A and B are shown apart, each in its own frame.
Chain A
Amino acid sequence: MKPGRAYAQAIRRVAAAFAMAALASMANAASAGEVPRRVVSMNLCTDQLAMLLAEDGQLHSVSHLATDPEASVLAVEARGYRVNHGLAEEVFLMRPDLVLAGAYTTRATVALLRRLGFRAEEFEPEASFDDVRANIRRMGALLGHQERAEAMVAALDRDLAEASAQPSRAASAALYSSNSYVSGSGTLADAALGASGLDNVADMLGIKGAGRVPLEALIMADPDLVVTSESDFARPALAQENFRHPAFRALSAHKMAVSVPDKLWICGAPFTVEAVRILRRAAAGQPIERGDAR
């Protein structure tokens, strides 16, 4: 072989080796400036935000919860992705360059994945619309789609303003769920209520977060609108007993009542505005779902 050609071949080989190494390191650990190309999400809320913000081929896998129509708004879309169960081995084999997780319950797995050299970002659950905006922006930054995220936030603000502009006949509302839980201040449901111009009776009763309120107190608080959440579990549970109580039925029979699907405000995302819209319509006296107690 002529020396020139041998030299060229050697250069090519070295370059190829370098390229391979570079690609390998990019695939294994996205450093701060790199846009992740293979994202795995292990949490329902990060699943949905990622599905909304990622470009084609960027999001590789979502958690199995995302395919559950009771819990996930984007259940249909979720079927287009690989499903994971939040186990380190599964995720490891997917070789992601970014792992998205919630701040609770998968802690051991996230710690182990970090130990193995994966980049993991944990998201706190959203408790207000500010949190929603922050998480959307953060997700956008992580996925390298800041403009898309900003657009989403702008659309969210527009929709919120639009929803609040509608007239309202109701002043106070009660968010009443299974097991007599009400959502007080510091929850997303409460934020949605506030955005639709209603006062949360739970706030007036001093509830922070999710708390239990005796039926008596609820009736005394005399809400104008009773909001229940439409999570119809396949099997009846004692938890649903509170809805069958005659006092509650009496209360909701004489008041305006509306049912909001839980999945709209389990996770904070642009679709949470839909909850605000539903509440606003109900408050304006044009109930879209004239839901009643079960």
Chain B
Amino acid sequence: MSEDARYRLVLAGLAMLVAVLFTLSLTVGPAAIAFSDSLAGLLSDDRGAIALIMREIRLPRAILGLMIGATLGLSGAVLQGYLRNPLAEPGLLGISASASLGAVLAIYIGLSAALPLGLPLAALSGAVLAVLVIQALAGIRGGTLTIILAGVAVSSFAGAMTSLALNLSPNPFAALEIVFWMLGSLTDRSMAHVWLSGPFMLVGWAMLGCLGRPLDMLTLGADAAQSMGVGMRRMQFLAVIGTAASVGAATAVAGAIGFVGLVVPHILRPLVGALPSRLLPASALGGAAMLLAADVLVRLVAPGKDLKLGVLTAIVGAPFFLWLVWKTRRTML
């Protein structure tokens, strides 16, 4: 089968998987609603209980699962391509750590109690701040190594500040809330969260999506890519800001969810012929599928206990990644 045909097949398969998981996400929940009733309720216009549950509780959860998963997959693929390193992932730029710090501070000083969307807004501010710091540290002409180091610095600092907040918190309830939030969850998110984070994620996608061709050319190295017309400054801007906007918004709403951005591009790379521009849409779909599946599992495996999403992706992602490394250790770049 030609490479092109296989690529189209992969995309079609992933798209179908996402559609199935999205539907599954809509039909899983503590309320025992029959499959057909749930879908009918979603599409109907009445204000009955089923329709309300579907539209206001399950639909936002499914939409967020899809969008956040796509964000993590896409930004993971972009960062791996940009840094030319298969171990890169969205957390490397320190965006999610800073967003978490913003959220944690909001809980700590009581902002999350005062404003209904105070916590996501504070988290977004944290992400913005991180980007400004990274740009300042790395400079406009900063190479990829400088970016990585700046991201690690920001990440470490944000992590230390978060630990400090937990350490000094006199209120054990607030400390517990901080810890739970950081584990990542989509439970009981509403359409308000969708409207808040959606635009940022869409803007981020638009910026990251432009990087397909430049990333292809970056395969040959920064010098060769520049000689073929790639603007490195523009690329850095789009990669960093695009990641910040989309991953920042995702973390703001759902907490820190790891491994999706690392594992999904890894799995899909052989299936798209390792071409970065093809990996971008595939990873977006793959990430959406992975997160939707995790969110469904969270509700099926332990319906009574509030199992956190980030915990599940780590439990599944880490051993899977170990297996992947083991399997390809000889051919690993």
Contacts and interface: CB of A to CB of B under 8 A. Distances in A.
Interface in A70-124: 85-90, 92-93, 95, 102-105, 107-109, 111-112, 115-116
A147 B31 CA distance: 37
Contacts of A115: 56, 190, 192
A54 B262 CA distance: 52
A104 B187 contact: no
A91 to B, nearest CB: 9
A210 interface: yes
Interface string B19-53: 00000000001110000000000000000010011
- Interface of A, helix, strand, loop or mixed by DSSP: mixed
Contact of B190 (A104, A112, A209): A112
Contacts of B177: 104-105, 107
A99 B306 CA distance: 19
B180 A89 contact: no
Contacts of B229: none
Interface in B166-208: 170-174, 176-177, 180, 187-190, 192
Given A104-B177, A105-B176, A112-B190, A90 B56 contact: no
A186 B180 contact: no
Contacts of B49: 92-93, 95
A102 B58 CA distance: 24
Nearest to A93: B31
Contact of B174 (A64, A86, A104, A116): A104
A11 B34 CA distance: 39
A211 interface: yes
A232 B187 CA distance: 31
A209 B172 CA distance: 9
B189 to A, nearest CB: 6
A261 interface: no
A85 B188 CA distance: 12
B188 A87 contact: yes
A92 B55 CA distance: 13
Contacts, number: 75
B10 interface: no
B275 interface: no
Interface string A148-192: 000000000000000000000000000000000000001000000
Contacts of A245: none
Contacts of A108: 187-190
A95 B306 CA distance: 22
B319 interface: no
Contact of A112 (B31, B174, B189, B306): B189
B57 interface: yes
Contact of B187 (A64, A87, A208): A87
Contacts of A285: none
Contacts of B219: none
A116 B51 CA distance: 12
A125 interface: yes
A211 B167 CA distance: 10
Contacts of B180: 105
B188 A104 contact: no
B190 A111 contact: yes
A257 B195 CA distance: 57
14 contacts: A85-B303, A85-B304, A89-B53, A92-B49, A93-B49, A105-B173, A105-B176, A105-B180, A111-B116, A111-B188, A112-B188, A112-B189, A125-B173, A186-B170
Interface of B: 29-31, 49, 52-53, 56-58, 112-113, 116, 119, 170-174, 176-177, 180, 187-190, 192, 303-306
Interface of A: 64, 85-90, 92-93, 95, 102-105, 107-109, 111-112, 115-116, 125, 186, 208-211
Given A87-B187, A88-B57, A89-B53, 11 more contacts: A64-B304, A85-B30, A85-B303, A87-B306, A92-B31, A93-B53, A104-B174, A104-B176, A111-B192, A116-B57, A209-B170
